Amino acid sequence: MKSIAIIGAGITGLTAAFYLKRAGLAVTVYEGSHRPGGVIQTLRKDGFLAEFGPNTILETSPKIAQLIRDAGLESRKLTTDPRAEARFVVRYGRPIEMPGSPLSFLTTPLFTTKAKLAVLREPFIRPRRDGVEESIGQFVVRRFNQEFLDHAIDALVAGIYAGDPYQLSLPHAFPKLKALEDNYGSMIKGQIFGARARKKSGEVAKDRAAKFSFDEGLQVLPDTLAAQLGDALKLNSPVSKLSQTGSGWRVATPGGAADFNKVIYCGTAHQLAKLELEGSRLTAAEGAVTKLDLSEFAEISYPPVAAVVLGFRREAVAHPSCGFGMLIPKIEGFKILGTIFSSALFPGRAPADHITLTSYIGGARYPELGLLPPDKLVAATLADLRVLLGVKSNPVFTHTKSWPQAIPQYNVGYGRYRQRLQDLESAAPNLFFAGHYRDGVSLGDSIVSGVNIAERLGKLIPA
């Protein structure tokens, strides 16, 4: 039987393993930590449910819904409360609801008349065709104006990447925006005239995609997939070396070595940089052994981000907190990047007459804050929430989780890393790469990456 090793038991590796095993292939998953799931972690305590990383999955592709059905989790799936669709952006030191229609855009206090006119003018701005790679910041200023960047897109970038809009690459971090300009000459024209193509593909824009979780939080998904693997999941088994053999690869861990026909790397870029990769067939010289240098992947920035989950009595928070949450532009001067109104999204996230607020701090904006000790994380978050949401007393529940290397930044020039991965797959047959450092940073992107690599290998390996 053909055998496949998967390095990394985050959601990409687990998804790939799940489908490859269903296809009848022998799969072994190596995970360096003591648990599967990567950044997906859920805690249930004192009636509160805290997510350590993401809070929802965006159903941007039919492949995501198919995984939930195949995993038998439809009965445990929870979509967000329709009343919690409102999103807020902070301006003038307070959260203002984002407009949801053309009419509300014209009347919103979130933007000045000058910014509104810039949006109306956007379809008439000539597209850029010189091939220069722009940052998302440069793109937005060129097609809209500085205010739209400072008070809207900067907040959006913080919510997705915890990143810097002047560093993030337009074609790599926001490829669909780049495609709108390339194909339609305008973002607004593309939204209007590209609807048919999007419908045909079955994909949904992230701002319109359904959001979901599970009755006991997102950890239900990796736990379910891991349970399907049984003994094929090897925890506390970091892979230190891959050596090419006559029929595939030898995978070395502290527990020993094993041979496989194919290997899929689904870990992080910074761990990939530490992986020793060698093979006798990577060079034209007979009998010679070549070691491939992967250290350049350590250059990919992963700024620290901390999640701060606070539970309050309902009467202790003046703001209704009944939408999805709020994003905070840097120009507003607060320390937190944004807050999700977690208990408004799904039932069971807080006891009766209480609410749960999940805030994020750090990122490329303030990396030093993402590494603060728990008490200082809570204090910094609480200080901002007192101003922004009218919090009047201390929380009755607190939980923090710091990720020293949280989200890969698809900064300008990121294409060279993606090209390097393609070159490695060509130079090292039967070695493949998938995951958030290559195929998108959202949970949905990572799931689709896992499905796609399983389908790719399924076609390469005869049944």
- Residues sharing a CB contact under 8 Å with residue 34, sequence separation 6 or more, in sequence order: 235, 236
- Cα separation of 74 and 175, whole Å? 31
pLDDT tens across 192-225, in order?
887 777 666 666 666 678 899 999 999 999 999 9
Q: What is the mean pLDDT of residues 70-90?
A: 94
Residue 287 pLDDT exceeds 80: no
pLDDT tens across 327-375, in order?
999 999 999 999 999 999 999 999 999 999 999 999 999 999 999 999 9
Alpha helices (H) in 38-134, listed in sequence order = 62-70, 102-107, 113-121
- Identify the three-state secondary structure at position 391: strand
Angle between helices 11-22 and 220-229 (to 10 degrees): 40
Nearest to 404 by CA among 442, 379, 367, 375: 367
Tokens of 166: 């002047």
- Partners of 180 in the β-ladder: none
User: How many Cβ atoms sit within 10 Å of the Cβ of residue 125?
Assistant: 16
Residue 286 pLDDT exceeds 60: no
pLDDT at 177: 94
Residue 429 pLDDT exceeds 50: yes
pLDDT tens across 122-146, in order?
999 999 999 999 999 999 999 999 9
Contact 386, 330 (CB under 8 A): no
pLDDT at 284: 47
pLDDT at 458: 83
- pLDDT-derived band of residue 460, with 50, 70 and 90 as boundaries? confident
Nearest to 141 by CA among 118, 163, 171: 118
Q: Given phi > 0 = left and psi -120 to 50 = alpha, else beta, which region is 241?
A: beta
HSE on the CB side for 28, CA within 13 Å?
21
- Identify the three-state secondary structure at position 90: strand
- Identify the three-state secondary structure at position 282: coil
On average, the pLDDT of the chain sits at 94
* Residue tagged 């607190």 (tokens): 398
**Which pTM does this prediction carry?**
0.94
- Cα separation of 107 and 138, whole Å? 27
- Residues sharing a CB contact under 8 Å with residue 303, sequence separation 6 or more, in sequence order: 162, 163, 362, 363, 364, 367, 370, 405, 406, 407, 409
- Residues sharing a CB contact under 8 Å with residue 175, sequence separation 6 or more, in sequence order: none
- Partners of 402 in the β-ladder: 306
**Burial of 426 per CB tally in 10 Å (0-12, 13-18, 19+):** exposed
pLDDT tens across 243-264, in order?
999 889 999 999 999 999 999 9
Nearest to 35 by CA among 11, 51, 16: 11
Pairing assessment for the beta strands 249-253 and 256-260 based on DSSP bridges = antiparallel
pLDDT at 183: 93
Work out whether the CA dihedral 339, 344, 348, 353 comes out positive or negative.
positive
pLDDT tens across 382-394, in order?
999 999 999 999 9
pLDDT at 246: 87
HSE on the CB side for 289, CA within 13 Å?
10
* Residue tagged 């496949």 (tokens): 4
Give all domains of the chain, ordered by start, each with its CATH number. 3-39+219-300+409-460 (3.50.50.60), 44-61+70-83+303-403 (3.90.660.20), 111-204 (1.10.3110.10)
Q: What is the mean pLDDT of residues 60-77?
A: 97
Contact 432, 456 (CB under 8 A): yes
Tokens of 139: 């793109």
Residue 186 pLDDT exceeds 60: yes
Q: What is the mean pLDDT of residues 26-49?
A: 97
pLDDT at 84: 86
